[in-house]
Structure 1
Amino acid sequence: MIATSIFGGLLIGLASVCLMLFQGRIAGISSIVYRAIFQLKFESWALTFVIGLVLGPLLVAALNGPAAPVFDLAWWQVALGGLLVGFGSRLGSGCTSGHGVCGISRGSARSVVATLTFMVTGVITVFIMGMVL
């Protein structure tokens, strides 16, 4: 299991480096999705990236069978969570991948602060939800 995680991390790092070298872009998922869906200017690399985000898990499920559900939530709760994450990503000028993977590796102080904020908020949320549920 740890080897799979290390391999996945290496692929994320490699994809980030390739995107920076060949497109001059930072691999922030929220910005890429926004660019592919909402910008009027067509950018094939962004659209290809978003298509890969959708097809990748479908391919894994087709090859390995569907994963067992980890949580039991209604569709509207999942959709609301996704909207809140998207809103927070725009409000924070980037998401965990943009700040955590790319920003910190470029030495961005703003990304260090953002990533620490994500982590602390996540720990607090897990603690509170553990008490509530």
Structure 2
Amino acid sequence: MVINWINFTPVRSLAGGALIGLSAALFMLLNGRIAGISGLLGGLLTADGWREGWRVCFVAGLLVAATLYVLVAPLPPIVVRSSTSTLIIGGLLVGFGTRAASGCTSGHGVCGLSRGSIRSFVATSTFMLAGFATVWMVRHG
């Protein structure tokens, strides 16, 4: 494994993680809801989802924050080494896993683990082990 020291940013990464944790905690405290992106976005895609303004604001906030970041700091170059079909299959598998686990890494990994949820521990462990196995098979298989 080779670390790209030019793009190695532990302080920014720690600050970003702290902000994610703080925002998830504030969202739970102020709204009584878990900040799981798949559930928020899935609810937005239903017929009544657009009537729930908080969902629209949450997703809009994600898009605005990303746009503001790009205006302040340049992104590192993005290099995709997979074929389009591999990306599509991977996306479908992630979507299937998210539905099967009743949540995604933000819902289970950030919010569920911080609440001590056993179900979230199992789901996050499964996500991580599947990711480790996939990387190992792609690189060594």
TM range, smaller chain: 0.7 to 0.9
**Structure 1 equivalent of residue 79 of structure 2:** 70
Structural mapping, 1:1-133, within 5 Å: 1-41=9-49, 42-73=51-82, 77-132=86-141
Letter matched to residue 48 of structure 1? C
Residues 41-70 of structure 1, C-alpha deviation per residue, up to 9 Å, x if partnerless?
421111111112223222222322343013
Instruction: Indicate how the Cα distance of structure 1 residues 54 and 78 shifts in structure 2: closer, same or farther if over 3 A, else same.
Output: farther
SS at match of 1:104: helix
Whether contact under 8 Å (1:61, 1:67) holds in the other structure is: no
Structure 1 unaligned runs (5+)?
Answer: none
Cα distance, 1:71 vs. partner?
1.9
CA distance in 2, matches of 1:80, 1:51: 27
Structure 2 unaligned runs (5+)?
Answer: 1-8
When the two structures are superposed, what TM-score results if normalisation uses the length of structure 2? 0.82
CA distance in 2, matches of 1:44, 1:79: 31
Letter matched to residue 18 of structure 1? L
Task: Percent identity, please.
Answer: 45
When the two structures are superposed, what TM-score results if normalisation uses the length of structure 1? 0.86
Instruction: Indicate how the Cα distance of structure 1 residues 52 and 79 shifts in structure 2: closer, same or farther if over 3 A, else same.
Output: farther
Instruction: Indicate how the Cα distance of structure 1 residues 77 and 128 shifts in structure 2: closer, same or farther if over 3 A, else same.
Output: closer
Cα distance, 1:80 vs. partner?
4.3
